Structures are given as C-alpha cells and as structure tokens.
Amino acid sequence: MTESANLIFIYGNDHLEINRKVRAFLAAFPDPTTAEMNITRLDGRTLNDDELTNAVHAMPFLASQRLVLLANPSARYKNVETQQKNADAPQKNAGARQKFIEFLLKVPPTTRLVMYEFIEDRRDVENNWLVKWAAGAGSQVSLIQCMQPRLQEMPSWVEKETRAQGGKIHPEAAKCLAEMVGENTQQAAQEITKLLTYVNYARAIELEDVEQVSVLTATADIFKMVDALGERDGRMAQRLLHRLLEDGDSFAVFGMIIRQFRLLLQAREILEGGGTQADIKKALHLHDYVAEKITKQARHFPLDGLERIYRRLLTIDYAAKSGEMPLEVSLETFVVELSR
C-alpha cells in the first residue's frame, strides 16, 4: 500500500475489495513472529477506550510501525440517541464522537491505524458521520471508498478482474457471468477463479465455459426455487435451498436470492406500468434467457408482496451480519414463510 497517512479509513459495500485492502496492509508483516507482536485487531462494536488506547500507543517490535485494524469504527457511536432515554443523549453522543475524533488525530507515527467499515446501502454512506468527518479532514486521513460496481458496470469489472487473476475472458462471457452474479463481486471473483482453472489459464474464457460451470446450475436452482415459492410448494423450495447451501457458500447463495427478488421487484414495477419482456430486458440489462424467466416469475407475485419480501431479505441480511441469527436458519425460515 502507498498511503502515507498513518490513519486510514476504508469503507463501502464491496466486501471483496475492502478485505483485499486490509490484507495488503497485513502483507507488510510477512514474518509471523513480527506480525504477532505488531498487529492488533479490534471491533468497534465491542471496543472500550482502554483497549484502543493501549493498542494504538504500544511501541512496535523490531519494526518502524505497528498495525491496528479497527473494524466497524462508527458502530460504537451509532444511534446512541435511540438507545438512551434521557434528554441529553444527543449531546452525549456528539461528545463521544468528538472525543473519538480527537483521539484519532493524535495517533502516534509509530502506529498505522486502519479503520474499515462495511456500509451496505449507498444512501447510508452519505449519512455516515465518520465518512463525513474523514472527507473533511484533508491529509490527516487517507479515505478509501470501496463501492460495488452497479449492474451495468459489472461486465467490465469481470473483464478487469479476470486480467488481474492472470487470464482473459470474451466480452459475451463476461456479460453472461455478470448477469448471473449481479453486483456480488466476491462471488464473481470466485467464479472467475473457477473458470480460469477450468480452461487451465491456457485460453480466454468463452460463453460456453460459463455455461458449463456451477454458477449456471446454481442460477437455475434459484429460478426453480422461486418458481416453487410462487406455487407455494414449500417442500420443493426447501429441497432446492438445501442443495444450493450444500454446493456453495451461504452468503453467495443469499446474494443470488437477493438479486433474484430485486430483479422481480423491478420487473413487476415495469409490468405494472404497461411494460413488456423487451422493456424488462432493456431496463435491467438482462440476457434473453434471464429476461424471459424473470418476466414469467414476476407475474406470479403482486407488487406489494415483492416489496414485503425484499424488506424481509434486508432484515435477514442485518441479522446475519450482526450475529443475531445464522444465515442458514434465516433462509430456512424465509422459505417456510413464503410457502404458506
């Protein structure tokens, strides 16, 4: 990493890129012994002042700097107003934030403090108090934004990532893969690795290669599961969910489910406005096959029903990432609820 500031804040909704940035800072300590003595990991959700102070002001061991990784730095001061009932809660919250900022500005040069935060909703980025402060702090903070590409940007992202992994991919193959994974860069990167291994890095990935690997099967199972939910066939929907979870990472599967219902919601809105399958294909940048399936499925769900489903998926996402409920359990419950 080339950031010269010893205070860095990485934020956004691109989990893959944020994790890569963090790993790049960790790479500065290749010796396990030195790394153990010079790296401290903290989480703002469980942090106390003494832990942070001790970690930041400790002296490095056989190194010019030590590294402190602080996840979720703004979480400790988030929504304090709603958690406290007394009238002076907003003032206490503002005071706590100001105290934290003052601490950040006094991080010694012997410590590199790397803060990172996953902010899923783009609108929340604009309202995050720590992002606002860091953006106005000038050279005192190195601010790194990592936002997922939008759907229409994913094909070019896939091509770029494939080159970064040492391979090539034809544009039509990149477009097909992008349609299947949506904005999930983490899943896309995994599928690119799988595809490059499939072609043995000997040639460019072609459309036929994408159609031969598991992502297409997983996508087909997602379509089948949504069909089963639309028909209230809970047994079939659960069977397909179990198969998806057995064959892939639960968060990757969840990302595909979110994308599917987001597309259904958007497609239903187009249909409600008098649009056609061709309008859906054009507006959502879909492959012919996907556009046909999405249009048929969207007709099986009312618009307000899809809106409720999408809100439910957002609560599942929060519960999984906050540790309130395991994702697999939430998905099982979700399928049972929709099958009634």
DSSP for 31-50?
SHHHHHHHEEEEETTT--HH
Query: Which residue, among 41, 48, 121, 52, has the nearest Cα to 311 in the 3D structure?
Result: 121
CATH of the domain at 177: 1.10.8.60
Residue 1 falls inside a structural domain: no
Residue 2 located in a structural domain: no
Tell whether 293 is covered by a domain: yes
The domain total for the chain is 3
Q: Are residues 340 and 229 both part of a single domain?
A: yes
Assign residue 138 a region (left: φ > 0; alpha: ψ between -120 and 50; beta: otherwise). Answer: left
Q: Are residues 123 and 238 in the same domain?
A: no
**Is the same domain home to 256 and 206?**
no
Based on the fold, state whether residues 184 and 194 are members of the same structural domain.
yes
Domain enclosing residue 206, as ranges: 151-212
Q: Are residues 51 and 138 in the same domain?
A: yes
Query: Do residues 339 and 232 make contact, with C-beta atoms less than 8 angstroms apart?
Result: yes
Whether 244 and 167 map to the same domain: the answer is no
| Degrees, nearest 5: CA angle 279-285-290 | 85
Q: 133 and 77 share a domain?
A: yes
CATH number at residue 321: 1.20.272.10
DSSP E strand boundaries for the chain:
7-12, 39-43, 66-71, 111-118, 142-145
Cross-strand partners of 327: none
Kindly report the pTM of this predicted structure: 0.64
Last residue of a domain, one of 163, 190, 212: 212
| 284 shares a domain with 264 | yes
Query: Do the domain assignments include residue 305?
Result: yes
Domain boundary among 212, 237, 259: 212
- Please indicate, yes or no, if residue 122 is contained in any of the structural domains: yes
Residues 226 and 338 in one domain: yes
- What are the residues whose beta carbons fall under 8 Å from the beta carbon of 61, sequence distance 6 or more? 34, 37, 38
**Ramachandran angles phi, psi of 206, nearest 5°:** -110, 170
User: Would you say residue 271 lies in a domain?
Assistant: yes
In a domain, 277, yes or no: yes
CATH number for the domain harbouring residue 94: 3.40.50.300
Do 12 and 134 belong together in one domain?
yes
Domain boundary among 123, 145, 167: 145
For each successive 10 residues of the chain (340 residues), what is the average pLDDT? Answer: 75 92 91 88 88 93 91 75 46 75 92 92 85 89 92 92 97 86 84 94 92 65 84 86 80 83 93 94 80 89 92 88 87 88
Do both 104 and 221 map to the same domain?
A: no
**Statement to judge: residues 293 and 187 lie in one domain:** no
